[in-house]
Amino acid sequence: MPLSSIAHQRLHHQRISQTEFEKPEEVVSWMGAMQAQDYLGSLWAIGLRTKNATEADVEKALTNRTIIRTWPMRGTLHFVAPADARWMLKTFTPRVITRCAGIYKQEGLDKKTFTKSAKLLTAALEGGKQLTRKEVYEVLERGKVAAGNTRGLHILGHLAMQGLICFGARKGKQPTFTLLDEWIPATKMPVAEEAMAAFTLRYFASHGPATVQDFAWWTGLSTTEAKAAHEAVKSQLTEETIQGITYWTASSNSVVKTKSPGVYLLPGFDEYLLGYTNRTPAIDTTRYKQIAGNGNGLLSSTIVINSQIVGMWKRTIQKDTAIVEAQAFDTFNKTQKNAVAAAAKKYSKFLDLDVKII
């Protein structure tokens, strides 16, 4: 079995090559969590996994609170379902917070500062209020908590990881913050083991075939914790070893048909790559360096053909037209060019704009 079969199955399980989902919240629930660092890119990550969704539809799901945006795991922004948010924050963020100790120290952020910030923000946000970053920083400054440099950023992140706040609706183009407990309905905290088992299964269903190490990296759990979580649901997973590496997928997953997996324009931080620490099934290490720039944590949008990443793309909006600039690592033949154009058209439909391909 070649390594590319792993990638092929992932396209299917991730609901990129076909999807039954009609609503953004169905996609997010299926995926467990979706990386949402680049806001506009991550709207597309949901859109491309949804039947006929437009960008406005995904934004509506965010304002209607059927999906929410916060830092539930790994110290990275994700979209999650409201029903999962509290359990995930409680389970995954303590390790992240510990890992942030160095940064907090550097910024002079101690327990007292966080407690004071929490009080200030609770008072300012109570009653369903939503404040932009700038407004939040003003509240902090008025309360004598310096929010300059990256302090404000880390305060927001920390309080979000503690489950006090999360992102609200956008005000114009600006994101806002609001109280989590006011933003989403109260949920009963599930039994820890059961919730972990269900979540682990969901990962291996939506991201499989994946390794235990992938799961550990994705969630930010330690290898030991990830191994234990995996062990608990192992009987419901199917195993596959390629080149000495063992991959797992949920046994309940439907079998992948061997039809051509198609051409896709994925956003920069799509789960197709960010769902795993080892990305070699979709792209070799040398090529990966091209999309990862100089290793600063920023990733280019990618072009996927036959389950392999074969190029990069970017978009610029000019009035009513989305200009899609596609760049192959090697060259695209005519068939591939046409397929890329068709994929760009799909994207422009999502944006509700005309498209021009360069």
Partner DNA sequence: GCTAATTCTCTAACTTCGCG
Partner DNA sequence: CGCGAAGTTAGAGAATTAGC
The footprint of DNA (CB under 7 A) covers 35, 37, 39-40, 71, 74-77, 98-99, 101-102, 106, 133, 150, 152-153, 157, 172-175, 222-224, 269, 274, 277, 279, 292-300, 314-316
Q: Both tokens of residue 60?
A: 């509506």
Q: How far is the CB of 321 from DNA (least distance, A)?
A: 14
In angstroms, rounded to a whole number, what is the distance separating the alpha carbons of residues 176 and 224?
36
Q: How far is the CB of 104 from DNA (least distance, A)?
A: 9
Q: How far is the CB of 268 from DNA (least distance, A)?
A: 8
In this structure, what DSSP letter does residue 210 have? B
Q: How far is the CB of 246 from DNA (least distance, A)?
A: 15
Q: Select 15 or 158, whichever has its Cβ closest to DNA.
A: 158
Task: Please classify residue 76 by burial: count the beta carbons closer than 10 Å to its beta carbon, then call 0-12 exposed, 13-18 middle and 19+ buried.
Answer: middle
Q: Which amino acid is at 147?
A: A
Q: Select 153 or 342, whichever has its Cβ closest to DNA.
A: 153
In angstroms, rounded to a whole number, what is the distance separating the alpha carbons of residues 23 and 151?
36
Largest CA distance in the chain: 62
Angle between helices 192-206 and 24-31 (to 10 degrees): 110
Q: Select 77 or 159, whichever has its Cβ closest to DNA.
A: 77
Q: How far is the CB of 44 from DNA (least distance, A)?
A: 11
Q: Select 316 or 335, whichever has its Cβ closest to DNA.
A: 316
Q: Select 11 or 282, whichever has its Cβ closest to DNA.
A: 282
In angstroms, rounded to a whole number, what is the distance separating the alpha carbons of residues 155 and 153?
5
Q: Both tokens of residue 134?
A: 């700038």
Q: How far is CA 340 from the centre of its chain?
A: 24
Q: How far is the CB of 225 from DNA (least distance, A)?
A: 9
Q: Select 160 or 196, whichever has its Cβ closest to DNA.
A: 160
Q: How far is the CB of 78 from DNA (least distance, A)?
A: 8
Mention every residue, 6+ apart, whose C-beta is less than 8 A from residue 98: none
Q: Select 212 or 250, whichever has its Cβ closest to DNA.
A: 212
CB 33 within 8 A of CB 72: yes
Q: How far is the CB of 310 from DNA (least distance, A)?
A: 18
SS3 217: helix
For the range 40-46, what are the long-range contacts, defined as Cβ-Cβ under 8 Å and sequence gap of 24 or more? 40/267, 41/267, 41/268, 41/269, 41/270, 41/301, 42/79, 42/267, 42/269, 44/267, 44/347, 44/350, 45/266, 45/267, 45/269, 45/270, 45/271, 46/79
DSSP run (H or E) holding 192: helix 192-206
Q: Select 219 or 249, whichever has its Cβ closest to DNA.
A: 219
- Residue 178 to residues 76, 144, 183, 230: CA-CA distances in angstroms? 18, 20, 7, 34
Q: Select 250 or 299, whichever has its Cβ closest to DNA.
A: 299
Q: How far is the CB of 156 from DNA (least distance, A)?
A: 7
Q: Select 144 or 173, whichever has its Cβ closest to DNA.
A: 173
Q: How far is the CB of 126 from DNA (least distance, A)?
A: 23
Beta-carbon count within 10 A of 84 CB: 23
